[in-house]
């Protein structure tokens, strides 16, 4: 069983219990995850990964949207890209006390029937994500070129790259590819033919989409289309779940 809820601007709380291993598409986010008495940082995620199975006690995660993790986790994000690292190891030195507090809060939240009560006060002082990170994310979703984004931010493309690496942990082009793959997945899941989905998502052609899926989705477009078709035929006509 998997459930999630919005905890605050740029933050989603999720819980996984009694679930088998499954592919998780790249989303560019950073996750803080508690399982048992262990807490680790996962991300920034720029490749698909396979989640571990969970038992009845499950995992609790705090997902920080792309470009927002530094508000809570003052660390070297490029060094954490596509890695899972123990929280204490990632936040050592001066940030050690902060890591110990996060460790305690996440473990207690995982054991609590109302984890949001414990974790919401942690995020409230942080405020909303920086406006420039939201602008960049929207621009990537629209497929804008880096030169256009740099112009909107009134900075050079080199400066944009430095800012992206610091706040996101990866460059702007990677974020564009992640958002494009997300658009394609949504289209295919809704039954859009593959060639049409590739064109509407912004790929040069269907082969281009297939190559990106190998990195970002953990399955081929055909496999995704097949699973979407099985789900729709297994449900009664008119079911709200089909969409």
Mean pLDDT, the chain, rounded, equals 90
pLDDT at 176 exceeding the cut of 90:
yes
pLDDT in tens, 208-228: 999 999 999 989 999 999 887
- In sequence order, what are the residues at sequence separation of 6 or more whose Cβ sits closer than 8 angstroms to the Cβ of residue 4? 12, 13, 14, 15, 63
**Residue 18: per-residue pLDDT:** 87
pLDDT at 201 exceeding the cut of 80:
yes
3-state secondary structure at position 126? helix
91 phi, psi to nearest 5 deg: -115, 80
**Taking each helix axis from N to C terminus, what angle separates 157-167 and 131-142, rounded to the nearest 10 degrees?**
110
pLDDT in tens, 33-81: 999 899 999 999 999 998 888 888 889 999 999 999 999 998 999 999 9
More confident residue, 240 or 187: 187
pLDDT at 237 exceeding the cut of 50:
no
**Residue 231: per-residue pLDDT:** 59
Q: How many Cβ atoms sit within 10 Å of the Cβ of residue 95? A: 16
pLDDT in tens, 107-133: 999 999 999 999 999 998 888 899 999
- 179-234: CATH architecture: Orthogonal Bundle (1.10)
Which pTM was predicted? 0.89
Domain boundary assignment for the chain: 2-126, 131-172, 179-234
């Amino acid at each position: 069983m998997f459930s999630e809820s919005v905890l605050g601007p740029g933050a989603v709380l999720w819980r996984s219990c009694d679930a088998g291993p499954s592919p998780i598409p790249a989303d560019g986010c950073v996750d803080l995850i508690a399982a048992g008495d262990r807490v680790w940082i996962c991300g920034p995620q720029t490749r698909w990964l396979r989640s571990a199975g969970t038992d009845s006690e499950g995992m609790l995660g705090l997902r920080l949207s792309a470009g927002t993790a530094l508000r809570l986790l003052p660390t070297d994000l490029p060094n954490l890209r596509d890695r899972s690292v123990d929280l204490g190891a990632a936040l050592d030195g001066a940030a050690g006390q902060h890591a110990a507090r996060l460790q305690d809060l996440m473990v207690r939240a995982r054991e609590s029937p109302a984890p949001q009560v414990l974790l919401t006060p942690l995020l409230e002082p942080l405020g909303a994500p920086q406006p420039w990170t939201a602008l960049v994310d929207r621009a990537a979703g629209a497929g804008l070129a880096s030169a256009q984004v740099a112009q909107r931010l009134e900075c050079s493309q080199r400066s944009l790259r430095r800012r992206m690496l610091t706040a996101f942990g990866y460059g702007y082009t990677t974020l564009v590819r992640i958002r494009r793959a997300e658009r394609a997945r949504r289209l295919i899941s809704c039954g859009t033919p593959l060639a049409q989905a590739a064109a509407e998502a912004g790929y040069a052609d269907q082969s281009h989409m297939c190559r990106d899926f190998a990195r970002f989705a953990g399955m081929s477009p055909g496999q995704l289309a097949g699973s979407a078709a099985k789900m729709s035929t297994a449900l009664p006509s008119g079911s709200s779940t089909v969409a």
